[in-house]
Amino acid sequence: MDSDQGNVDKLREALAEQNQMIDELSADLAEHKRLLGEAYAKIEDCSHNVELLNLQIEQIHSSTSWRATSLLRYTAAALKRLLTRLPIRYTKSSALPCTYVPQAYCNVLGGKAQINLGTVPYHSKASHEILIRVFSDQISNRFRLYVLSYDQASQILSGPYHLQSQSWYRIRYTCFGSTVALVAYGIRGDFRMELRKTRRMSLSVPKTFNAPHQYEQLSNPDSRYSSWVEQHETIHRLRDERLLGASRLEKQHAFITYVVVIRSAREHLAYKSSIESIKSQANSRWRLVLVLPRDISTEDRIYLKTLSKRDHRILLVTDVASDLPYPSLLALVCNELASDFVAFVDDQDELDTLATDYLLAQYTRDETIQMIYSDEDLIDDYGERSYPYFKPELSPALEIEQDYIGNLCAFKTSTFVELCSNDMLSLIQHPWALKLSFLKQIDWQRNRTRRIPEILYHQRITDASVPISDNIRKNATNNESVRQLLKVLLPDFNYESIVSWCRDKEQGQKCSISCFVSILISTSGRYEIIEPCLTSILELTIFDNFEVIVRIDTSEALTAQTIAFLNHVAEDQRVNVHYHFRPRGVPFNYAAANNQMAKSATGDILVLLNDDIKITDPYWLVRLVATFGLPKTGIVGALLLYPDGTVQHGGALLGVDGLVANVYTLRDCHDAGYHGQMQMIRNVSAVIGACLAIHRELFLEVGGLDEEHFPNAFNDTDLCLKVLDNGYYIVQNPYIRIIHLESITRGLDNTSYKVWRFQRDGKLFRARWFEYIDADPFYNPNLSLRHSNEYEIEC
């Protein structure tokens, strides 16, 4: 009985607590209703005030005085427009170091109203960005940039180029392109650029030059970025912060160590923003190692020691030589690591507040990860962000060309210490070499690295710095230490043999290649198509070990001219001609034709080539085969051009219209592309079969082209994804340039049957590879899929 009475008492207490909670919630609800009523009352008051203001405006517009002064208002507006075109004498310009503009093109000079001099080569079709600092005595000035012929007053580029004033302290950017106008009108030689200024608002001209306001041009070609930042960080970040907060509780033992090397040459407390960005991390599972040079100032030393005493997570490594070699610095850092990951941060750059959360969340999901990196951008002293770099997943070929992985790169500590303890440490002379060596250590495996598609690192803009894209567009051939390192990491890869556009035989055969190549060409036998293709291959190609297998696949009778030509080329020992006459009504099967040729081929490497290809570079096959020296390369593709020199195919992008599309189509073949990538060897998800090289064993291992499901369309992309799925990489090599007349081999999809077949194959292709199509690993989800030839930010 006592126990029953106790249970009743407990139930009564619970019921009383519940009634109390109901009363509290009712009170809260009443308070919310009261506040809502007050808000509605304020809205009604505002609406009433707006109506009163509109009524007053109508009364003013209908007044006699307003009508009488209309002429004065019109005159004032016209005068204001006139004032914007009046030049002002007080103009100064100072050109910043243009280390990323080819010096053969420009010599940048400072001076009043004259920004730079230079020479434009006749065949130049590259756009060069010129960084300019402008000083002005009036914050209301608008600047206009003119490009003029050096020896004449005539303007040689359409313009003027307006330097858009974002606010009183900065001009956003301008881009001088030495391209279309110069070449189109046949102008070459010297040029000069003049900066002219027009006044705003006031007509008075100051008699003295006051303390100048500083304007800086920013290299930010995508004006959509500011909108992206505002949208992304107000919507997506709120969601991510909640998700990362939950992840924070799952992996409490994980830590990351940030290493910041303080440079003595910096101004006092120049490093403060970098340290504060680490201290303000939302996730507290971090440690900070500050490396202090021996000659650091007393004030900085005292400040940093005080900082370390107040926060036990901050460790100081003192009395380090300012000129300490990079390998010695790495060995020194290894002794101070007691965490899962280590990352280096420049002493002027900043981390996003969620950087630690994002990094450790990746480790939470998969503890086999060895390297994590993120997207990044530039930031100035006013907190304005610009020039983002949205990066692909691990692309070994691109990392060899440029350090695209960039600044924020977290290494697994155990592997990092192991790397720093072996004999290769002496070859690691800078961060780029460190990343290459680390990737070699993990065997270039994409599944052991993670790219975070978030802007987590902000590189500081300084007078001595250059934008990210220019800083990392440094080619491997321009870096002696990287070249020496590549010889050790990739002994089978001869970089110079690929990138050199030399025309003499001695230079073209620098790369010693012993393999045998089989070139497979399926054709309907049209003389005007197959003749230039075979002739250019046999007469121009400088490569000894190759054969050409030609399959005549047609249901029509061959012309006498075609038969005579084929009999002639068959006399060449390198050429084998196979005939396959299909019955009328049996459709052409491109996949089956190539599979049959592959079985009879004897080469180590197969090159699938369309019959509407024309070779113009004698060393195309040397470069094609030498590219297989890159890490874990399964397939190599070329930059295919239309006869007018514009790009037809610069790699394939998955996800466009839910399927796949060519990249950089109709762009000038000399354009740089997104962060210079169009002119760099890089990894992609697929290349097209118009020029596709693959090891014969790998081709047979993955089952060749799918002749049953993809007889004509999507078979090349399907082959690439099968190879990619097997752990190999697809490489797009822009140094191999070939003319391609698109869709002549199999014809256009311009009949109802072909359209139906294409749609059917497209549905099957998407069903098979939807994981890759929905998220192309060599693209970035922050970039748009609306236009495959423009890497635009997705807003």
Proportion of the chain above pLDDT 70, given as a percent: 71
Q: Is the pLDDT of residue 775 over 50?
A: yes
Q: Is 160 exposed, middle or buried (0-12, 13-18, 19+ CB in 10 A)?
A: middle
Proportion of the chain above pLDDT 90, given as a percent: 36
φ, ψ of residue 625 to 5 degrees: the values are -75, -40
How confident is residue 87, by pLDDT bands cut at 50, 70 and 90? very low
Average pLDDT for 740-746: 65
In the three-class reduction of DSSP (H, G, I as helix; E, B as strand; rest coil), residue 668 is classed as strand
Alpha-carbon separation of residue 676 from 398, 404, 473, 671 (angstroms): 10, 10, 7, 8
Residue partners of 136: CB distance under 8 A and separation at least 6? 90, 91, 92, 143, 197, 212, 213, 215
Q: What is the pLDDT at residue 252?
A: 58
Q: What is the pLDDT at residue 112?
A: 33
**CATH code for position 761:** 3.90.550.60
Cβ(618)–Cβ(508) under 8 Å?
Answer: yes
- What is the spatial distance between Cα 421 and Cα 225, in angstroms, rounded to a whole number? 42
In the three-class reduction of DSSP (H, G, I as helix; E, B as strand; rest coil), residue 338 is classed as coil
Q: What is the pLDDT at residue 55?
A: 81
Whether 81 is covered by a domain: the verdict is no
φ, ψ of residue 92 to 5 degrees: the values are -130, 145
Give bridge partners of residue 737 from the DSSP assignment.
639
486-513 pLDDT, tens digit per residue, is: 777 777 676 665 655 433 344 444 455 6
E-strand ranges in 492-573 read 517-523, 546-554
Q: What is the pLDDT at residue 203?
A: 32
Q: Please indicate, yes or no, whether residues 230 and 172 belong to a single structural domain of this protein.
A: no
At position 21, the amino acid (one-letter code) is: M
At position 540, the amino acid (one-letter code) is: L
Which residues constitute the domain of residue 168? 91-216
616-628 pLDDT, tens digit per residue, is: 999 899 889 989 9
Cβ(85)–Cβ(628) under 8 Å?
Answer: no
Last residue of a domain, one of 146, 181, 216: 216
Q: Is the pLDDT of residue 113 over 70?
A: no
Whether 329 is covered by a domain: the verdict is yes
How confident is residue 695, by pLDDT bands cut at 50, 70 and 90? very high
Q: Which residue has the higher pLDDT, 108 or 665?
A: 665
Assigned token pair, 205:
């001209």
How confident is residue 5, by pLDDT bands cut at 50, 70 and 90? confident
Q: Which residue has the higher pLDDT, 737 or 498?
A: 737
- What is the spatial distance between Cα 405 and Cα 407, in angstroms, rounded to a whole number? 7
Whether 567 is covered by a domain: the verdict is yes
Of 79-88, 315-324, 501-510, 644-653, which gets the smallest average pLDDT?
A: 501-510
Q: Is the pLDDT of residue 447 over 80?
A: yes
275: nearest Cα among 247, 306, 249:
306
Average pLDDT for 476-480: 61
Alpha-carbon separation of residue 311 from 209, 284, 421 (angstroms): 49, 11, 30
Q: Please indicate, yes or no, whether residues 365 and 484 belong to a single structural domain of this protein.
A: yes
Alpha-carbon separation of residue 16 from 20, 26, 27, 29, 30 (angstroms): 6, 15, 17, 20, 21
Q: Please indicate, yes or no, whether residues 154 and 178 belong to a single structural domain of this protein.
A: yes
- What is the spatial distance between Cα 365 and Cα 347, in angstroms, rounded to a whole number? 30
- What is the spatial distance between Cα 676 and Cα 661, in angstroms, rounded to a whole number? 20
**Residue 492 CB: number of other CB atoms within 10 A?**
10
155-195 pLDDT, tens digit per residue, is: 434 333 333 333 333 333 333 333 323 322 222 334 445 54
Q: Please indicate, yes or no, whether residues 560 and 657 belong to a single structural domain of this protein.
A: yes
**CATH code for position 430:** 3.90.550.10
Q: Please indicate, yes or no, whether residues 204 and 265 belong to a single structural domain of this protein.
A: no
Q: What is the pLDDT at residue 14?
A: 78
Residue partners of 353: CB distance under 8 A and separation at least 6? 277, 280, 281, 282
314-346 pLDDT, tens digit per residue, is: 999 888 887 778 888 888 888 778 889 999 999
529-552 pLDDT, tens digit per residue, is: 999 999 999 999 999 899 999 999
Cβ(546)–Cβ(519) under 8 Å?
Answer: yes
Whether 507 is covered by a domain: the verdict is yes
**CATH code for position 194:** 2.60.120
Q: Please indicate, yes or no, whether residues 549 and 563 belong to a single structural domain of this protein.
A: yes
Whether 164 is covered by a domain: the verdict is yes
Preceding amide of 777 cis, omega within 30: no
In the three-class reduction of DSSP (H, G, I as helix; E, B as strand; rest coil), residue 405 is classed as coil
264: nearest Cα among 311, 306, 287, 298:
298
Q: Please indicate, yes or no, whether residues 474 and 534 belong to a single structural domain of this protein.
A: no
248-283 pLDDT, tens digit per residue, is: 555 557 899 999 998 866 676 778 899 999 999 988
Q: What is the pLDDT at residue 227?
A: 79
Average pLDDT for 86-100: 39
Cβ(361)–Cβ(352) under 8 Å?
Answer: no
**Residue 486 CB: number of other CB atoms within 10 A?**
22
- What is the spatial distance between Cα 681 and Cα 733, in angstroms, rounded to a whole number? 5
Whether 736 is covered by a domain: the verdict is yes
What counts of helices (H) and strands (E) characterise the chain? 25, 33
Q: Please indicate, yes or no, whether residues 568 and 624 belong to a single structural domain of this protein.
A: yes
Q: What is the pLDDT at residue 83?
A: 59
Average pLDDT for 688-709: 95
Question: Kind and range of the H or E element at 238?
Answer: helix 237-250
Q: What is the pLDDT at residue 242?
A: 63
Last residue of a domain, one of 426, 455, 489: 489
Q: Is the pLDDT of residue 111 over 60?
A: no
How confident is residue 785, by pLDDT bands cut at 50, 70 and 90? confident
Mean pLDDT across the chain: 76
Q: Is the pLDDT of residue 516 over 90?
A: yes
- What is the spatial distance between Cα 468 and Cα 377, in angstroms, rounded to a whole number? 7
Q: Is the pLDDT of residue 98 over 90?
A: no
Q: Please indicate, yes or no, whether residues 163 and 292 belong to a single structural domain of this protein.
A: no
Whether 44 is covered by a domain: the verdict is no
Assigned token pair, 252:
């409490």
394-442 pLDDT, tens digit per residue, is: 999 999 888 999 999 999 999 998 888 777 777 788 888 889 999 999 9
Rounded to two decimals, what is the model's pTM? 0.70
Whether 75 is covered by a domain: the verdict is no
Q: Is the pLDDT of residue 118 over 90?
A: no
At position 138, the amino acid (one-letter code) is: Q
Number of independent structural domains in the chain:
3
The b/e string for 368-407 (b: 16+ C-beta within 10 A; e otherwise) is ebbbbbbbbbbbbeeebbbbbbbbbbbbbbbbbbbbbbbb
Cβ(742)–Cβ(646) under 8 Å?
Answer: no
Q: Please indicate, yes or no, whether residues 641 and 685 belong to a single structural domain of this protein.
A: yes
Q: Which residue has the higher pLDDT, 31 or 115?
A: 31
Q: Please indicate, yes or no, whether residues 185 and 208 belong to a single structural domain of this protein.
A: yes
Q: Please indicate, yes or no, whether residues 560 and 652 belong to a single structural domain of this protein.
A: yes
Assigned token pair, 790:
């423009």
